A and B are shown apart, each in its own frame.
Chain A
Amino acid sequence: MIPLEYYLVVSAALFSLGLFGLLTRKNAINVLMSVELIFNSGNINLVAFSRFVSGDLDGQVFALFVIAIAACEAAVALAIVMSLFRHLKSVSLEGASALKG
């Protein structure tokens, strides 16, 4: 059986990749994809810990809720990006700089 550490390494790698993408990407869609990576790294942790540490199903139920919420968040985020596209004619975050101070 695959030991717990393997899952944790994968999730840590996913989390770091997500964070890296968030900090370096200028395209709003890429940033949203990075956010999904972060959410899913949390999910892997939850399911792995549920299996190896606690032995109950709480973590897996949590992961299901996270998947649902991530979908809602993506829907809202894409709507906002769409409506920004109408103003800027691009999805680059560099254009969104009218608010400053």
Chain B
Amino acid sequence: MIGGVTVQRLDTIASLKYFTPEIVVVFTMMAVLLLDLVAMKRSRGERRVLIVAPALIGLAVALFYSVRLAESPAAGLFSGMVAQDGFGSVLRIVFLVTSIFVLLFTLHSRELSSVHPGELVVLLLTVTAALMWMSNAVNLLMIYLALETVSIASYIMVGYLKGDRLSNEASLKYILFGAISTGTMLFGMSLLYGLAGTLDLYGIRSALANQEILVESGPALMVIILMVLAGIGFKMATVPFHFWCPDVYTGAPTPVTAFLSVGPKVAGFAVLVRFFYGGMARPEGEAGFAMVGAVNWQAILIGISILTMTLGNVTALLQTNLKRLLAYSSIAHAGYIMMGAVVLSGEGIQAMVAYVVIYLFMNLGAFLVVIVVHNAVGSFDIKDYAGIWRRSPLLTVLMGIFLFSLMGIPPFAGFLAKWYVFAAVIRADLGWFAVVGVLNSAVGAFYYIKILKTMFLEGDDVPEPSSPLELHPMHAGLLLLLAVPNIIGLLLWGYLDRITEYSQKLLEIL
């Protein structure tokens, strides 16, 4: 049955076999930590191989297991703390693919060339494992723990360039905003525990449906939802909890920025779906959901979504630093992704996951171009991208593909992503909401085109056409790997549909 699979709770031992990817990643993390000590005295190159190769193998093994788990029956693991279902399985694959890419991004990056890479890899693996917990947590305690694990490790990743003032400042801002948001969320969760008497999301739902609580709980539930949204919104970088995002994205090393713009953001959406569809809605009809409780949270989320995409797109128009521009662009995309989460249907959740899968390829691609250009030019300013076309046509064309995809222009995969989301919204009788989304995409096209214009047309007045920009073979390979899904996105439609179909299967634990 799509829309909700009702299952029993499994005990700890029986749960372990569904938990293989997480276990593999955690053991890899510990192994890399030890190897890092062994590799201390070796030369730079050897050290790199000793650290990165095992990490890659570990992630690949975890990926293998999570693909196999995707088709296994749903289950409530560890007495109902963690869910194993289609939604979480698809996202688990998304996180593992993201961190494999980001791990390779760190290899030849000018920003990271002066620091020891060992701890960064360890932190990356830690965050990856925690992201997988986050997307599967169905208990308030588990949600909080996973979210904090992701946060604390990513604070360190952002500040990884110890000698760099911007990196330091970015991590300070990140940790202050993060602490406020998660603290507020914790207070909200504690109130929810008081209201419902349990930490289990499904228990909370049945408590909220109780007539006695329903009548009196309106204002309290409103406060609780807003407080919890502070924590989740911080991870998703949605308005009004987006203030950290541009500063942190600018200050952090670019591979870390690329990771933050996909991993924790997507996990934030996973928590949003788990919290609201698990704790505040019950399955209804074929593949629909009905809200439970005295608060119309759908309206709140629609408001946040509209504000987020509008603010992201409009502010991005004014940016001159490409990393900062991509930060605002990722805020705008958070708004689009959220459109799928508000429609209260299995279709909406599928649209959201499909968007996330495509977003992974287009956004990581754009950030890799930023890394490559920074390696060659040493700047993130858009004006320094002038004339890149003459120095490296291939790089410019690839950047064009990623940007057109981010824009949502038809032959590219980004169009497909928006199509999914808008179609789900229209079918939920929220046509006007889809119109807002389309108008926003139109605004978004301006600033993406502006970057391309700089790369193609400007820079003719530079006296001597500078030397061709050398593309490292690994970067070229990665760029092509990221570009292919964007180009043939429309051909992959059926495949994507089949994969993301699983994600409609949200778990119901007895």
CA distance A26 to B165 in the complex (A): 19
Say yes or no: B187 contacts A80, CB within 8 Å. no
Contacts of B165 in A (CB 8 A): 87, 98
Is residue A53 contacting chain B, with contact meaning CB distance below 8 A? yes
- Verify B155–A76 contact, CB threshold 8 A: yes
Is the CB–CB distance between A42 and B190 below 8 Å?
Answer: yes
Contact of B172 among A42, A46, A50, A81 (CB under 8 A): A81
Q: How many residues of A contact B (CB 8 A)?
A: 46
Q: Confirm or deny: B140 has a beta carbon within 8 angstroms of a beta carbon on chain A.
A: yes
Number of interface residues of B (CB under 8 A): 43
Pick the contact of A46 from B171, B175, B193, B321 — CB < 8 Å?
B193
The CA-CA distance from A77 to B176 in the complex, in Å, is 8
* Contact present for B189 and A42 (CB under 8 Å): yes
150-199 of chain B: CB within 8 A of chain A: 151-152, 155-156, 159, 162, 165-166, 168-173, 175-176, 179-180, 183-184, 186-187, 189-191, 193-194, 197-199
B155 touches which of A11, A19, A80 (Cβ 8 Å): A80
Q: Work out how many contacts link A and B, with CB atoms closer than 8 A.
A: 128
> Nearest-CB distance from A88 to chain B (Å)?
8
A49 contacts which chain B residues (CB < 8 A)? 190, 193-194, 197
C-alpha spacing A9/B173, complex, angstroms: 31
Q: How far is the CA of A18 from the CA of B182 in the complex (A)?
A: 13
Chain A interface: which of B109-117, B243-251, B464-472?
A: B243-251
Residues of chain B within 8 A of A81, CB atoms compared:
172
**Interface contact A96-B187, CB-CB below 8 Å:** no
Query: With A and B bound together, what is the CA distance between A58 and B198 in angstroms?
Result: 8
Convert B230-273 into 0s and 1s, putting 1 for each residue whose CB lies closer than 8 angstroms to a CB of A: 00000000000000001100110000000000000000000000
Interface: A69 (CB within 8 A):
yes
A27 within 8 A of B: no
Q: How far is the CB of B100 from chain A (nearest CB, A)?
A: 26
Shortest beta-carbon distance, A43 to chain B, in Å? 8
Whether a CB of chain A sits under 8 angstroms from the CB of B319 is: yes
Residue of B with least CB distance to A101: B324
Q: Is the CB of B175 within 8 A of A87?
A: no
Task: Contact check, A73 vs B175: say whether CB atoms are below 8 A apart.
Answer: yes
Contact pattern, A 38-63, Cβ under 8 Å of B = 1, otherwise 0: 11011101101110011110110110
Stretch at the interface among B141-149, B447-455, B500-508: B141-149
- B residues less than 8 Å from A62 (CB atoms): 140-141, 144, 190, 193, 199
Given contacts A41-B187, A62-B141, A80-B155, contact A99 B169 (CB under 8 A): yes
Closest to B141 in A: A62
Q: Are A65 and B141 also in contact (CB < 8 A) when A15-B187, A54-B193, A73-B148 are?
A: yes
Given contacts A83-B162, A98-B165, contact A31 B189 (CB under 8 A): no
- Shortest beta-carbon distance from B207 to chain A in Å: 10
CB pair A99 B193 closer than 8 Å: no
Contact digits for B332-368, partner A, Cβ 8 Å, 1 yes 0 no: 0000000000000000000000000000000000000
- Residue in B166, B175, B189 whose CB lies within 8 Å of A98: B166
Is A84 among interface residues, defined by CB-CB distance under 8 A?
yes
Contact with A along B190-233 (1 / 0, CB 8 A): 11011001110000000000000000000000000000000000
Contact with A along B317-332 (1 / 0, CB 8 A): 0011100100000000
Supposing A42-B186, A72-B152, A101-B319 touch, asked if A59 and B175 sit within 8 A by C-beta, the answer is no
Q: Give the Cβ gap from B134 to chain A, nearest Cβ, in Å.
A: 14
For residue A55, which residues in chain B have a CB less than 8 angstroms away from its CB?
197
Q: Which residues of A contact B187 (CB under 8 A)?
A: 11, 15, 38, 41-42, 45
The interface of chain B, by Cβ under 8 A from chain A, is 140-141, 144-145, 148, 151-152, 155-156, 159, 162, 165-166, 168-173, 175-176, 179-180, 183-184, 186-187, 189-191, 193-194, 197-199, 246-247, 250-251, 319-321, 324
**Could you name 12 residue pairs across A and B whose Cβ atoms are closer than 8 Å?**
A22-B180, A28-B172, A42-B183, A58-B193, A58-B198, A65-B141, A69-B144, A77-B176, A83-B162, A98-B165, A99-B170, A101-B321
Other A-B pairs beyond A53-B197, A54-B198, A101-B319, 5, CB < 8 Å: A31-B176, A62-B140, A62-B199, A65-B141, A99-B173
